[in-house]
Chains A and B, each alone.
Chain A
Amino acid sequence: MTDWDPSKPILEIENLSISFFTRLREIPAVMDFSCTVMPGESMGLVGESGCGKSTVALAVMRDLGKNGRITGGSIKFKGRDLTHMTEDELRHIRGSEIAMIYQEPMASLNPAMRVGDQLAEVPMIHQAMARADALKLARQIIADVRLPDPDRILRAYPHQLSGGQQQRIVIAMALMAKPALLILDEPTTALDVTVEAGIVDLVKDLGSKYGTSMLFISHNLGLILDVCDRLCVMYSGEAVETGNVTQVFDKMRHPYTQALFRSIPLPGADKNTHPLIAIPGNFPLPHERPTGCNFGPRCDYFLDGTCNTGDIPMDPVPTHDRHATRCLRWKDIDWDAPAKVGKVTEKLPRGRLVLKMDDLKKYYAVSSGAFGGGAEKVVKANESLSFEAHENETLAIVGESGCGKSTFAKVLMGLETATSGQIMLFDENVQDTPIQARNTDTVSKLQMVFQNPFDTLNPSMTVGRQIIRALEIFQKGTDDADRVERMLVLLDMVKLPRAFADRMPRQLSGGQKQRVGIARAFAGGAKVVVADEPVSALDVSVQAAVTDLLMDIQRENHTTLLFISHDLSIVRYLSDRVMVMYLGHVVELGTTDQVFAPPYHPYTEALLSAVPIADTRVKKRRIVLEGDIPSAMNPPPGCPFQTRCRWKTQVPGGLCDTVLPPVQVLAGGHQIKCHLSAEALAGMEPVITIAAE
């Protein structure tokens, strides 16, 4: 690599085309893709699932599997063309010069091999280092990725580490040989937001420390803004816009980029006055791409005869920094025109009380030890949950994995019964009634929309049949004909064509499946709907549409919506009140405005700071939480958050270590479970500020 000039690009992809070959046909996955990464630069690849961003990454690694083939173009790494290298040459580059970090840290580590051995392997292969030296280096890198107790971790198996720690190990593994290029494929998607913030900080620091170039793949625009210098927006196998991050974010020149930004909930969006603008239509399947512009059928600026005639080349935007767009009409579009505001709606008045939880507790007993036995331990999944929910209201329940929000949903639905406390649903106590014992009326009034639409529909039953089945169970409709009619009305309600009644779930896209899930939940005229992360498995452009649908149905049916989510942006957009949970406790409860503005609970403060926001105007105070969420099996004494709280020193007498904080009720019924004095709380500064335009 001596003939390589450091002022030249480290990675240069030119007109790359990749296809997958099946027995039936060739499926083009990436067409005419070009991008350049300079030394020390981090390049973001953004796009929805299926747009080909991961395929590009794997092509750089030359690991496309048996069916994938590069059909055109070149990938030059330090001036050498990777597409023509032999397996042997590639092996020397993989891991030592180009390293990759993956989406699922647990799946990416060998479960039967100690972490130390997996790390040490890299220098042992590439630098023929002795095992002892390699382990020493591994220990040093583990310390570099800020993991505590490196010696213990070297000897640990992957399953003994938490998700965040595993991802740090994967990063450490990638850094073992000090690569020149790091490819990160959705490195934080499987992690919680506060953990994600830590990983993102680490990646940025290490990038500048070692001068590593990065190819950062993500669907999250906020993260790209945090991490990258430049980005490349992909749509359906093509790069549609590329440029430096601020220019693309503020002065985008492609309709897809614009539509994408309008469909994500940024600060300022509001479900009543500034609703999100969903991108109409669906992502085209690889073999059903239109001629001309792939985005054409969904584009507001589509011009027949221009946009659908032939291939569209990348067109550089003059005066901008290496900014280019794949749009024929970019010069004709008024980019500063404000977005057409969708229908503005009135905020519904808060209705009668429908759900009241009083001091609800749910404990589980588990045993430890490899062969069973061991000490019996109690997992306190929910600790004294008390709140009310009214008609027409959206109550968001926010928290990271393990905070007890799913357990709460299970108890409410009757899949589990409460250990103690009361749940009043309408005028009925349901805390001790499992779902089997509840009457049809109660069950149909209280329904759930699930997180993963791909697994919650029966794959061997038509969509219509599944909705009719729900109607039968809820005893709605007089006869079969009536139920078919009701089913079609439900399809109308979730804005699916009536023809979908005869389709199988596999013929539907993720967003369409989730609509079926919503139709099923509302089949019995549900009054209270628990939506457990209903949009987190969907792509951003679809999220907006599904969210709006939920809001519309709520307005029409006066539903109480319990919206469980870890995504604070969407929570801020659609909820009326927010409940923040941590380790089974409700740490903060108030209206959306109260929770998103100071005074905060220290945990809410960190959570807000951790959420990446795709808006260049937003200034955030960076608060990175140390360590992981403690295990619910072994919670800390006193305040549950004390192990990671940055305000702890401000409470006199070590109260946080010993006493569970009382609930302080502030102005407007805003509840915070914290020892901090009223003055300290009042003195908090906002985490997010929007710079004046």
Chain B
Amino acid sequence: MLPFLLRRVGVMILTALTLSFVVFSLTNLAPNLEKLARTEGSVRMTDDAVLSWIENNGHGGLMVTRYGQWLGVVPGWVRTDDRGVTRGRCITRDVTAEAAPRYCGILQGDWGTSTVFREPVSKTIADKLGATGWLMMWVMLVMVPVSLIIGVLSGMREGSRTDRVLSTFAIATTATPEYVSGVILVVIFASATTGISPLLAEWGWISGRTLFLGTATSATDKITFWNFALPVMTIALYGIGYIARMTRASMTEVMTQQYIRTARLKGVAFHQVILKHALRNALIAPFTVIMLQFPWLLNGVVIVETLFNYKGFGWTLVQAAGNNDIQLLLACSVVAVFVVLVTQLISDVGYVFLNPRIRLS
């Protein structure tokens, strides 16, 4: 097991380096830097002034060198300008030029400063990831059990009425993108003029104007059912359909296997056949799919967090991209890459434990 893990971690690091370099190159293209110069410096800078700003702020030179600096394996740039002020990558307001370390990249824990939020990127990312973490946790708690139950129920008797009803539901939800289902949910549950809220308010069943809150901003401070249910449902619905379909396919296949017949013909009752014989075998395939949902969730939250104005990772990503916040964008990408790779590792290792026959090599 250990050699396998070491090899996988090695490959992961290599993948992370390659991907982050690609993202770094794309975010540090000349037009981006020019835009950065104009927002940080002055909008009315001449082209020459832009070039010198870029040069003076450490954005000149080879892409590889800059990437090395960002990573923290190449000494950060230091430049003394005409006025004798020494500035550098590692020199900030709190750290003088003399005391500044030679290296300051993400390896040293220095993720740079966000130009949008005017605070260290590491702090922004930590805060927003925490917020998104809560959202993801609730989505998973809703999505996984519901989708597995739907999948197993519809897969255990292929072609039955239960199967057809549940399959229709699953296909409908997975065919509806979040920006559609989110809007529909808001219209039905969280609008003062349409849906069920006006009726309920009229009957006096709810004290506020809407049943659910249309925004999840307040959930940043305190999560309640009323401010969180809609964003969670919006993300979960899509995943429920998808995982349920996977589980159903896997379940129907397992149900035709000979060992299920063996179990049936040794007198095992139907529900026991499902629980003891079919379930574990049927869950092997969806497990991988569920693990794949984590990276997908990370992107899926972009739409939902923007829609419900919940200040999490997705919302931050939108802000960073929209405002050309290079450092923040880079950090977001690194986090995303990291999440993808780690969940894949967990998925591979877990697969071996679920399926005693499998051998990885």
Chain A residue at smallest Cβ distance from B160: A66
The minimal Cβ–Cβ distance linking A61 to chain B, given in whole angstroms, is 5
Is there contact, CB below 8 Å, between A94 and B280? no
A367 at interface by CB-CB < 8 Å: yes
B100 at interface by CB-CB < 8 Å: no
Across the interface, which residues of B come within 8 angstroms of A93, CB to CB? 267
What sequence of 0s and 1s flags, for each residue 1-31 of chain B, a beta carbon within 8 Å of any chain A beta carbon? Answer: 1011101000000000000000000000000
B352 at interface by CB-CB < 8 Å: yes
Across the interface, which residues of B come within 8 angstroms of A159, CB to CB? 356-357
CA distance in complex: A92, B259 (Å):
19
Known: A100-B265, A170-B262, A367-B361. 6 other contacts (CB 8 A): A91-B268, A102-B258, A102-B261, A107-B258, A122-B267, A157-B356
The minimal Cβ–Cβ distance linking A85 to chain B, given in whole angstroms, is 13
A68 at interface by CB-CB < 8 Å: no
CA distance in complex: A102, B357 (Å):
21
Is there contact, CB below 8 Å, between B267 and A91? yes
What sequence of 0s and 1s flags, for each residue 324-361 of chain B, a beta carbon within 8 Å of any chain A beta carbon? Answer: 00000000000000000000000000001011111111
Is there contact, CB below 8 Å, between A113 and B276? yes
Is there contact, CB below 8 Å, between B267 and A96? yes
Q: Which of A4-12, A72-80, A370-378, A617-625 contacts B (4 or more CB under 8 A)?
A: A370-378
Count chain B CB atoms within 10 A of each CB in A92, A102, A109, A370 and give the residue with the most.
A370
CA distance in complex: A157, B258 (Å):
16
Name the one of B264, B280, B352 contacting A370, with C-beta atoms under 8 angstroms: B352
CA distance in complex: A372, B268 (Å):
37
Name the one of B259, B277, B354 contacting A107, with C-beta atoms under 8 angstroms: B259
Chain A residue at smallest Cβ distance from B349: A371
A590 at interface by CB-CB < 8 Å: no
Across the interface, which residues of A come within 8 angstroms of B265, CB to CB? 61, 63, 94-95, 99-100
Count chain A CB atoms within 10 A of each CB in B159, B257, B267 and give the residue with the most.
B267
| CB contact list, A101-123 vs B, under 8 A | 102, 104, 107-113, 121-122
B263 at interface by CB-CB < 8 Å: yes
Count chain B CB atoms within 10 A of each CB in A66, A109, A111, A159 and give the residue with the most.
A111
**With A63-B261, A107-B259, A112-B355 as given contacts, are A372 and B4 in contact (CB-CB < 8 Å)?**
yes
CA distance in complex: A100, B262 (Å):
8
Is there contact, CB below 8 Å, between B262 and A370? no
Across the interface, which residues of A come within 8 angstroms of B267, CB to CB? 91-96, 122, 125-126
Across the interface, which residues of B come within 8 angstroms of A112, CB to CB? 280-281, 284, 354-356
20 inter-chain pairs at a CB distance below 8 angstroms, sorted by A residue, are A63-B265, A66-B159, A91-B268, A95-B265, A99-B265, A99-B266, A107-B258, A107-B259, A108-B259, A108-B261, A113-B277, A122-B267, A173-B266, A367-B361, A369-B359, A369-B361, A370-B352, A370-B359, A371-B361, A372-B7
Is there contact, CB below 8 Å, between B266 and A121? yes
* Band of interface residues on B: 20 to 34
Is there contact, CB below 8 Å, between B266 and A111? no
CA distance in complex: A110, B254 (Å):
10
**With A112-B281, A371-B352 as given contacts, are A125 and B3 in contact (CB-CB < 8 Å)?**
no
Is there contact, CB below 8 Å, between A121 and B259? no
Is there contact, CB below 8 Å, between B264 and A94? yes
What sequence of 0s and 1s flags, for each residue 166-178 of chain A, a beta carbon within 8 Å of any chain B beta carbon? Answer: 0000100100000
Is there contact, CB below 8 Å, between B266 and A94? yes
B95 at interface by CB-CB < 8 Å: no
What sequence of 0s and 1s flags, for each residue 334-377 of chain A, a beta carbon within 8 Å of any chain B beta carbon? Answer: 00000000000000000000000000000000010111110000
Size of A's binding interface in residues, CB under 8 A: 34
Across the interface, which residues of B come within 8 angstroms of A91, CB to CB? 267-269
Across the interface, which residues of A come within 8 angstroms of B257, CB to CB? 107
Interface of B is mostly: helix
The minimal Cβ–Cβ distance linking B300 to chain A, given in whole angstroms, is 31
Chain A residue at smallest Cβ distance from B284: A112
Top 10 A-B pairs, shortest CB-CB distance: A371-B4, A372-B361, A95-B266, A95-B267, A373-B3, A107-B258, A94-B267, A110-B259, A157-B356, A112-B280
Name the one of B4, B272, B352, B357 contacting A111, with C-beta atoms under 8 angstroms: B357
Across the interface, which residues of B come within 8 angstroms of A108, CB to CB? 258-259, 261-262
**With A63-B265, A95-B266, A99-B266 as given contacts, are A372 and B360 in contact (CB-CB < 8 Å)?**
yes
Across the interface, which residues of B come within 8 angstroms of A367, CB to CB? 361
CA distance in complex: A218, B7 (Å):
50
Across the interface, which residues of A come within 8 angstroms of B3, CB to CB? 371-373
Chain B residue at smallest Cβ distance from A63: B265
What sequence of 0s and 1s flags, for each residue 86-122 of chain B, a beta carbon within 8 Å of any chain A beta carbon? Answer: 0000000000000000000000000000000000000
What sequence of 0s and 1s flags, for each residue 493-521 of chain A, a beta carbon within 8 Å of any chain B beta carbon? Answer: 00000000000000000000000000000
Across the interface, which residues of B come within 8 angstroms of A113, CB to CB? 276-277, 280
Across the interface, which residues of A come within 8 angstroms of B268, CB to CB? 91, 95, 121, 125
Chain B residue at smallest Cβ distance from A103: B258
**With A95-B266, A126-B267 as given contacts, are A371 and B360 in contact (CB-CB < 8 Å)?**
yes
Is there contact, CB below 8 Å, between A102 and B356? no
Is there contact, CB below 8 Å, between B277 and A110? yes
Is there contact, CB below 8 Å, between A371 and B1? yes
The minimal Cβ–Cβ distance linking B15 to chain A, given in whole angstroms, is 18
CA distance in complex: A126, B268 (Å):
9
The minimal Cβ–Cβ distance linking B9 to chain A, given in whole angstroms, is 12
Chain B residue at smallest Cβ distance from A110: B259
Is there contact, CB below 8 Å, between B266 and A110? no
Across the interface, which residues of B come within 8 angstroms of A170, CB to CB? 262
CA distance in complex: A678, B284 (Å):
58
What sequence of 0s and 1s flags, for each residue 401-434 of chain A, a beta carbon within 8 Å of any chain B beta carbon? Answer: 0000000000000000000000000000000000
Is there contact, CB below 8 Å, between B258 and A63? no
CA distance in complex: A368, B244 (Å):
36
What sequence of 0s and 1s flags, for each residue 276-305 of chain B, a beta carbon within 8 Å of any chain A beta carbon? Answer: 110011001000000000000000000000
CA distance in complex: A378, B358 (Å):
21
The minimal Cβ–Cβ distance linking B88 to chain A, given in whole angstroms, is 46
CA distance in complex: A61, B267 (Å):
10
The minimal Cβ–Cβ distance linking A281 to chain B, given in whole angstroms, is 33
CA distance in complex: A108, B3 (Å):
34
Across the interface, which residues of B come within 8 angstroms of A369, CB to CB? 359, 361
CA distance in complex: A169, B360 (Å):
27
Is there contact, CB below 8 Å, between A373 and B264? no
Chain B residue at smallest Cβ distance from A373: B3
Across the interface, which residues of A come within 8 angstroms of B356, CB to CB? 111-112, 157, 159
| CB contact list, B177-195 vs A, under 8 A | none
Is there contact, CB below 8 Å, between B259 and A111? yes
Chain A residue at smallest Cβ distance from B267: A95
Chain B residue at smallest Cβ distance from A104: B258
CA distance in complex: A109, B281 (Å):
12
Across the interface, which residues of B come within 8 angstroms of A92, CB to CB? 267
CA distance in complex: A170, B262 (Å):
9
Across the interface, which residues of A come within 8 angstroms of B357, CB to CB? 111, 157, 159
The minimal Cβ–Cβ distance linking B13 to chain A, given in whole angstroms, is 18
What sequence of 0s and 1s flags, for each residue 562-601 of chain A, a beta carbon within 8 Å of any chain B beta carbon? Answer: 0000000000000000000000000000000000000000
Across the interface, which residues of A come within 8 angstroms of B4, CB to CB? 370-373
Count chain A CB atoms within 10 A of each CB in B262, B352, B354, B361 and give the residue with the most.
B262
Chain B residue at smallest Cβ distance from A99: B266
The minimal Cβ–Cβ distance linking A75 to chain B, given in whole angstroms, is 15
The minimal Cβ–Cβ distance linking A65 to chain B, given in whole angstroms, is 9
Name the one of A66, A94, A173, A370 contacting B360, with C-beta atoms under 8 angstroms: A370
Across the interface, which residues of A come within 8 angstroms of B259, CB to CB? 107-111
Is there contact, CB below 8 Å, between A63 and B264? yes
The minimal Cβ–Cβ distance linking A457 to chain B, given in whole angstroms, is 25
Chain A residue at smallest Cβ distance from B159: A66
Is there contact, CB below 8 Å, between A110 and B263? yes
Across the interface, which residues of B come within 8 angstroms of A100, CB to CB? 262, 265
What sequence of 0s and 1s flags, for each residue 4-42 of chain A, a beta carbon within 8 Å of any chain B beta carbon? Answer: 000000000000000000000000000000000000000
CA distance in complex: A117, B298 (Å):
41
Is there contact, CB below 8 Å, between B1 and A102? no
Is there contact, CB below 8 Å, between A125 and B266? yes
Across the interface, which residues of A come within 8 angstroms of B263, CB to CB? 110, 121
CA distance in complex: A92, B267 (Å):
6
